[in-house]
Amino acid sequence: MVVFHKNEQRLDRVFAALADSSRRQMLAKLRKRPLSISELAEPFSMSFAGVAKHIDVLTSAGLVRKVRDQEDGRSFRLELQNQSLMEASAWLTYHQEFWTNKLDRLESFIEEQDHDKPGRKNRKKN
């Protein structure tokens, strides 16, 4: 059995949360300012319970957090959290650089092999 580290589990939750277009749209709305759940739910044609489930996924992934509304102290507003997204971005950047370097080395190797083949340089066209 494979045991996952907490960071790997968090990355799984972040990527799963980002896999849904409704949740990505919610995150885009929250970039402007913190919103109440009803403000966030407004443009979506889904039930309040459906929106709440999406918010739970985003919260579990560490992409948003609920903060008490300072005006009334009873309701909540949702605001973006960037730590989980920064960790996911760092993971993607690392792997992008890794594969880019691997492919660059493979390309160099293939070019060297092509140039080292006998008769390759002075081959005449018929």
pLDDT tens for residues 55-78?
Answer: 999 999 999 999 987 777 788 899
Q: Where are the alpha helices (DSSP H) in the chain?
A: 6-18, 21-30, 37-41, 48-60, 83-116
The reported pTM is 0.69
- CATH class of segment(s) 7-114: mainly alpha
d(CA 49, CA 65): 18
- Tens of pLDDT along 13-69? 999 999 999 999 999 999 999 999 889 999 899 998 999 999 999 999 999 999 987
Query: Could you tell me if 54 and 22 are in contact, meaning their C-beta atoms sit under 8 angstroms apart?
Result: yes
